[in-house]
Structure 1
Amino acid sequence: MTANSQMVTIKGTRDGLTLRLNDQCSFDSILEELYDKLSVNGVDDGQPMIRVTIQLGKRYLTMDQKEMLKRIIREKQKLVVEHIESDVITKEEAFAWKENSEITPIVRTIRSGQLIEVKGDLLLLGDVNPGGKVIATGNIFIIGHLRGIAHAGFDGNEEAVISASYMKPNQLRIAGQLSRAPDQDAEGVYIECGFIDKQDDAIRISPLQDVLKQKPDLVSFERRMLNG
């Protein structure tokens, strides 16, 4: 069998191993070749667990099929599957992705005891008063005062950010992390942004322009606004 006709290609990377699965053959053939290859290339018991990324190409697998892949890899080697990547998704997954990537614009003041919750990004033109709360699965952008509670990345997205013209919240939450605003008062009106600093693994507040340098993907927000 030539290299081009291999059904399973294993490549070492800085982060572990990448398994590329041929998307033009049957799933049973993939399992058979994967089983054989992992049986030949052993790993010593003393070595640490190796992280694995599986690339499916234009192949879609059910949850049961993914579990079969993971089980074979776990049983044959000291490997742990960290990611399974595919170029295709179901209609349901596409609709969920669309819903979670949309921007919901709201023009109002969120008063004490009121709650706004959206899927995707929230663009609020107004204030969040003390005792008010806004929640989004994506980013939160507030053109106004944030004095209440804001929770971005509600479904676990640690890349989400919270931005406000005046940042003095009761509480900030991003994914599962929690923080409060700094003690110092803001001078004038400028955009501040709360985000998870990967170095400190904690929520930090910085001017929006500084955050954009670290998170260039936020420019997609502008593109979606212009195209929407």
Structure 2
Amino acid sequence: MSDIENMDRTDLSKAEDAVKATQSNVENTVEAAKDNIEGKVETAKENLGNTVEAAKDKLQDMPSVEDAIERAKNKLPNVTPIPPSLHAQATAHELKSRLEWGEPALTILDARDRSAYDECHIKGSMLASLEEFEAGNKFNMSSERDIYIYGATDAETATAANILRQAGFSQVAELKGGLADWTSIGGATEGLATQGHSPAASERNVVSRLQEFSQQKAHEKSLQK
């Protein structure tokens, strides 16, 4: 065999080895790439699964549509006021609010003497002197009817209210401040001295009436404490 033939075989063998090495490198690179891709796919799947689970948890924690509406309603201000309820110690604002919002199921009694009543009294009130109470005059009223009573002083008011309660009337309110407090807030009056009466702001517009109502509700809360 000539030297040329030996060189050709040697070169051919080296070429074959180089091809095999290249193939091996390619295969290793492909396998590594496949492993890398598969790992990334698994990681992506895991992250996606965690994201879905987190979203499910948040959805479960979210309130229903009904709950959301109810919460929104509770946050809204009370723009439809209701008349205050009767208190044993009542204010002029309480009585005025009930009358202005059209609540007729109440009676107002004036426990002063007739001359004071004739001079000026709360519009719609009835004269009922202490002497009439003590004589047992129960009037033609239900024992459960709401009654607001006032006298010349808070002490006289309290005395008259206690006589009414002892007579069996269960819904009796002492109008604190009496006629003076009533007129100070522009409450309607009648009698010989009522000419030239200037109506309060609340008698002229709804905004002022709502402001008075808000003040009364604050006072009611203080009475309940």
- The TM-score normalised by the length of structure 2 is 0.26
Instruction: Report the TM-score when normalising by structure 1.
Output: 0.26
Task: Identify the structure with the greater helix proportion.
Answer: 2
- Tell me which structure has the larger Cα radius of gyration: 2
